[in-house]
Amino acid sequence: MNFFERQDVARRNSRLLMVLFVLATACIVLAMDLAVITIWYGSQFFYDSSMLAMPWWLHALVIGATAALILGVSLRKSIEMLAGGGVAVARMMDARQVIPLKANPMERRLLNVVHEMAIASGTRVPLVYVMDQHGGINSFAAGYDGQLCVIVVTRGALERLNRDEIQAVIAHEFSHIVNGDMALNMRMVGVLAGLVFIGGAGAHLLRVAMEEAHGDFRAILFLMASGATLFCIGYIGLFFAQAIKAMIARERAFLADAGSVQFTRNPEGLAGALDQVRHLHSFVLHLHSEDVSHLFFAEAVYLDEERVLSTHPPLGERIARLVPLFGGEAYRSRRSDPYAELQRAAESAASPMGSLPQSARIALETRVGCGGLLVALMLSKEGSALANELAALRAAGFDNFATSSAPLAPHVGVLPVAWHLPLADLALAHLRAEPEEYRRELVRALETLLATEHPVSLYRFAYLAFVRAQLAPDAVAKSGNRSIAALREDVVLLLSLVAHAGCARSDTAAGDFARAFASGAKEMELRAPLDPVRREGCDPVATAKAIERLRDLGPFAKARLVKGLAAAVTADGSIRVVEAALLRMVGAVLDCPLPPAFEELNPATLAA
């Protein structure tokens, strides 16, 4: 399946999740009502022989209160997850964000690997967190989309895995991001919280009763009876929660393993990481481990991995699918030691990041540098144009960005256009957690730069739309379901924008635009009459709003849109670098990751 088909499957699984949630809630409500009925008639049997029938209003009260409690807890947790994204999950698990300036050698290795996998997968660079208190080998990715996405690893994974192994684990997490698993997983965290709440409340009452062992006997007996009853009823919710997670999460683990191999081209790396888990352990002893157990790379809660309700497939089966003849002992005897690797040459020089100018690598280590880098990517290389742009920034009150970007502009300007999006990703990864006031100020500085250009460059406009969507989104579509026809005007505007980008020669511009637009419209199945938008009509503000609305398209509608845009780009039989970069930028704004494929193109067809 492709990205959009997997999103559609995830959406169907979301509906299945809600059906099972309703069924589980009904079972818990029924069990609670039966418990109250038992208490009602049992108390009369021992203390009163009248045996009065239980009134209907008490049934209604028990049923209504239990259902309201479950729904309320699930709704509250869902809202909390929606507002905080992956950052909320990382904080819930007491994870610590890795700050580049404060990172130790192992954490710098982790950051390098995350950056490399972001480039390989064509997705946003997530925030990186470490769970310092946990020595097991595990990790997870969480978030609704690229805006608040995080990757969290345990201290055990950081210390016990060598570079190939941790790269494979991180690639596994990026596969979850690319496959659209994260949003479904986050919904599961919220929805399932209500199902396990009653059991958790019962367990809490039992602990209180044990702690009050020398208190009033009748009070302790009441607490123990109430706690045991709630715990037994709550086990129904726990059973359903584990069954739901097992049904949905197990197959996604196999899919993410395959994605990891696709990104790294190294199946033995992932098999080795799984072997290290098998040789050591992956358990995470935390209050909320059960709540997020389906997010993890391997089993986080202590269970026999062969159990039907395990959230992950058996380790042996996962390894066999990757490397059928994998020998654990032989692999462990020849694998690189993580500490020995760190004592060798600095990894940054050996990674793809080493090809960046030193000034850019240094800039990525600070907030000021990252802001300056994002501005520098939009500046002219040198000369009077650069001077005028810097003067415009200072005149608009953005002297800070002018000062930080000016020395970077000559170095960044010589980079291939294909590197602009990955480099912007790296800078954005550090800035998403900054205060909203700073992020919006940076967007306004870029808007000031765009206003200095006449006519507006399509590439610069797409770059601004991309940065704005990451730092100051007006609206974030979480689960769109609209069609191409419903957003026809916005689709035509965006298609016109991309078709204009392919018009490199003024003498053939009209014909080139017509062919590109017609090709895209045919692929999108847009019906006549169509009214393409002239280049000067592609207003930056209007187009930005159109792209924002297009994020609400359904998965298959997004697929048609992206295929149509790609058809427009390739209508003349070649792909210019600026066209490919523009398409990737638009894909990034629409939350449709488009991995870079420049190495697969014929260099003769690439033009600046």
Among 237, 235, 245, 333, residue whose Cα is nearest residue 17? 245
- Joined tokens for residue 47: 């203390």
Phi, psi of 151 (to 5 degrees): -120, 130
Task: State the DSSP string of 60-111.
Answer: HHHHHHHHHHHHHHHHHHHHHHHHHHHHHHHHHTT-EE--GGG--HHHHHHH
What the block records as the tokens of 229 is 């009853």
Instruction: Using CB atoms within 10 Å of the CB of residue 452, give its burial: 0 to 12 exposed, 13 to 18 middle, 19+ buried.
Output: middle
Tokens 């291939």 — which residue?
416
Three-state secondary structure of 504-569: CCHHHHHHHHHHHHHHHHHHHCCCCCCCCCCHHHCCHHHHHHHHHHHCCECHHHHHHHHHHHHHHH
Q: Strands 139-142 and 127-131: what pairing?
A: unpaired
At 578, give phi and psi (nearest 5°).
-65, -35
Separation between Cα atoms, residue 183 and residue 86, nearest integer Å: 10
From the list 116, 173, 347, 548, the catalytic residue is 173
* Order of strands, sheet of 150-154, starting from the edge strand that comes earlier in the sequence: 96-97, 127-131, 150-154, 139-142
**How far is Cα 386 from Cα 363, in angstroms, rounded to an integer?**
19
Cα separation, 9 vs 296, in Å, equals: 20
Burial degree of 507 (CB within 10 A; 0-12, 13-18, 19+): exposed
DSSP-assigned states of every residue in 335-401: SPPHHHHHHSS-HHHHSGGGGS-HHHHHHTTSHHHHHHHHHHTTS-SSHHHHHHHHHHHHHTT-HHH
Catalytic status, residue 523 = no
Locate all alpha helices (DSSP H) within 161-306, ordered by sequence: 163-178, 181-211, 217-264, 267-279
Query: How far is Cα 166 from Cα 172, in angstroms, rounded to an integer?
Result: 10
Cα–Cα distance measured from residue 558 to residue 566, given in angstroms and rounded to the nearest whole number:
12
Please classify residue 56 by burial: count the beta carbons closer than 10 Å to its beta carbon, then call 0-12 exposed, 13-18 middle and 19+ buried.
Answer: exposed
Joined together, the tokens standing for residue 464 give: 């601004």
Placement of tokens 């050996």 in the chain = 350
Which residues are the active-site residues?
173
